[in-house]
């Protein structure tokens, strides 16, 4: 199966050995970050540094003219990826014989929430989530669609992978997170991720709901969880806590909002891209799920994008709803963490890949070649090349 390894520009720039090292890994492709959120990352083999602190969400290339006079607009990176860091790394990787695709993070941006607080998701208690742009807001949607088109279609790129193209919610590693004191399961996470910003309130009202009453109902539904009641999990748990009519109405609003954003962003990328440009989404087959792997309707998304990248470190089960669509030519990329210190198991990659293929995967993704130790990379190389 075709395999791609995730990489940051700072893993490559300033390290002349990096492109050849990645080429020897056995992956034919790299998925290189072009727009990324804040992070702190190890660079265990770089000759000049060991830790890179990306202080805020940023584009890793020079901004285009489309952003002149606009607000919000993307932020350029600081000294961790200054100038055209993406372009420099992409050129070096291509020269080593690797096919380069862009990696674009969209609705996950704490800097946006800090500078433009009104863009953020607002929960039923009135708390803002600055890391989570509300994808129902017209200006935010326009920002995300234009960012997708610009960051995805970089010179020489053969395709893109769009991450967090959907709702973000409560569950997020935000600074030094301290939100685990109450065990919110899947149902509680959904309720705490519902947005009540003015645009979402208007969306509920358009569906005949009183948004104030919806918010009150969400708070009432959550109260037993705050007191320690078990979260039954899954959609059945949401229905039990909120009641079927309200649960269905909130999901319908959110599903439609995410679906139309995904359609618009993919269309914008295609309009900007050359022929044959591949567009994939990092996706979760449960449409109400939030996060980097955006919740999607598998039957719908495979008519919009060329395929999906699906998290499989915890098992290949999430592949099945996409494989069941049996769409000829669709890319189903199984994404495995191969960093032992981050819960990955590079030593079992060959077996994992075989299971993924049996479950319908057509490609593999490896997270993350820049972060992995030498031992992890050696295990990956053996799995991919046999040596």
CATH number of the domain at 30, please.
Answer: 3.20.20.80
Pairing of strands 307-311, 58-59: unpaired
pTM value is 0.97
Residue 19 to residue 13: CA distance in whole angstroms: 9
| Residue 201 covered by a domain | no
Report the length, in residues, of the chain: 387
Domain that holds residue 96: 2-180+258-385
Helix (H) or strand (E) holding 251: helix 244-272
pLDDT in tens, the chain (387 residues): 999 999 999 999 999 999 999 999 999 999 999 999 999 999 999 999 999 999 999 999 999 999 999 999 999 999 999 999 999 999 999 999 999 999 999 999 999 999 999 999 999 999 999 999 999 999 999 999 999 999 999 999 999 999 999 999 998 766 667 677 777 899 999 999 999 999 999 999 999 999 999 999 999 999 999 999 988 889 999 999 999 999 999 999 999 999 999 999 999 999 999 999 999 999 999 999 999 999 999 999 999 999 999 999 999 999 999 999 999 999 999 999 999 999 999 999 999 999 999 999 999 999 999 999 999 999 999 999 998
The closest of 346, 340, 307, 347 to 323, measured between CA atoms, is: 307
Contacts of 377 (CB under 8 A, 6+ apart): 21, 25, 346, 369
| Residue 210 covered by a domain | no
| Residue 345 covered by a domain | yes
Cβ-contact 277, 270 below 8 angstroms: yes
| Residue 271 covered by a domain | yes
Helix (H) or strand (E) holding 281: strand 278-284
| Residue 244 covered by a domain | no
- Helix ranges (DSSP H) in 101-233: 110-115, 138-152, 186-193, 198-206, 211-226
Residue 153 to residue 161: CA distance in whole angstroms: 11
Contacts of 253 (CB under 8 A, 6+ apart): 200, 203, 204, 207
Split into its structural domains, the chain has a count of: 1
Taking the alpha carbons of 168, 169, 175, 177 in that order, is the dihedral positive or negative? Answer: negative
Residues β-bridged to residue 52: 41
| Residue 42 covered by a domain | yes
- Residue 378 zone, left/alpha/beta (φ > 0; ψ -120 to 50; rest): alpha
- Helix ranges (DSSP H) in 25-84: none
Q: How many angstroms separate the Cα of 145 from the Cα of each of 9, 106, 166, 320?
A: 23, 9, 11, 29
Residues β-bridged to residue 98: none
| Residue 202 covered by a domain | no
- Helix ranges (DSSP H) in 291-365: 298-304, 320-323, 349-358
Cβ-contact 366, 345 below 8 angstroms: no
| Residue 252 covered by a domain | no
């Amino acid at each position: 199966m075709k395999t791609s390894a995730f990489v940051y520009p700072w893993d490559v720039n300033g390290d002349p050995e990096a492109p050849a090292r990645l080429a020897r890994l056995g992956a034919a492709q790299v998925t290189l970050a072009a727009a990324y959120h804040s992070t702190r990352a190890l660079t265990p083999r770089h000759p000049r540094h060991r830790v890179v602190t990306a202080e805020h969400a940023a584009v890793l290339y020079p901004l285009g003219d489309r952003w002149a006079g606009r607000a919000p607009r993307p932020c350029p990176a600081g000294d961790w990826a200054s100038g055209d860091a993406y372009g420099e790394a992409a050129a070096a990787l291509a020269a080593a014989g690797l096919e380069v695709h862009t990696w674009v993070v969209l609705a996950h941006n704490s800097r946006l929430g800090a500078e433009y607080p009104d863009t953020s998701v607002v929960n039923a208690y009135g708390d803002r989530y600055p890391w989570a742009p509300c994808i129902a807001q017209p200006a935010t949607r326009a920002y995300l669609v234009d960012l997708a088109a610009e960051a995805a279609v970089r010179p020489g790129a053969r395709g893109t992978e769009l991450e967090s193209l959907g709702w973000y919610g409560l569950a997020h590693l935000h600074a030094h997170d301290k939100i685990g004191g109450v065990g919110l399961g899947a149902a509680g996470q959904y309720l705490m991720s519902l947005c009540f910003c003015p645009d979402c309130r208007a969306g509920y009202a358009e569906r005949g709901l009183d948004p104030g009453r919806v918010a009150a109902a969400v708070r009432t539904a959550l109260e037993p969880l705050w007191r320690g009641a078990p979260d039954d999990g899954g959609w059945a748990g949401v229905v039990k806590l909120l009641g079927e009519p309200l649960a269905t109405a909130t999901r319908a609003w959110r599903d439609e909002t995410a679906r139309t954003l995904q359609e618009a962003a993919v269309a914008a990328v295609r309009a900007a891209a050359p022929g044959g440009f591949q567009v994939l989404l990092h996706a979760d087959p449960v449409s109400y799920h939030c996060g980097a792997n955006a919740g999607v309707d598998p039957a719908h998304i495979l008519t919009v994008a060329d395929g999906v990248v699906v998290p499989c470190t915890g098992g290949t089960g999430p592949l099945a709803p996409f494989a069941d669509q049996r769409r000829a030519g669709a890319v189903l990329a199984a994404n495995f963490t191969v960093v032992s210190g981050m819960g990955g198991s590079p030593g079992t990659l060959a077996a994992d890949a075989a299971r993924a293929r049996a479950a319908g995967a057509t490609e593999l993704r490896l997270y993350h070649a820049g972060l992995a130790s030498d031992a992890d990379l050696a295990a990956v190389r053996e799995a991919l090349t046999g040596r």
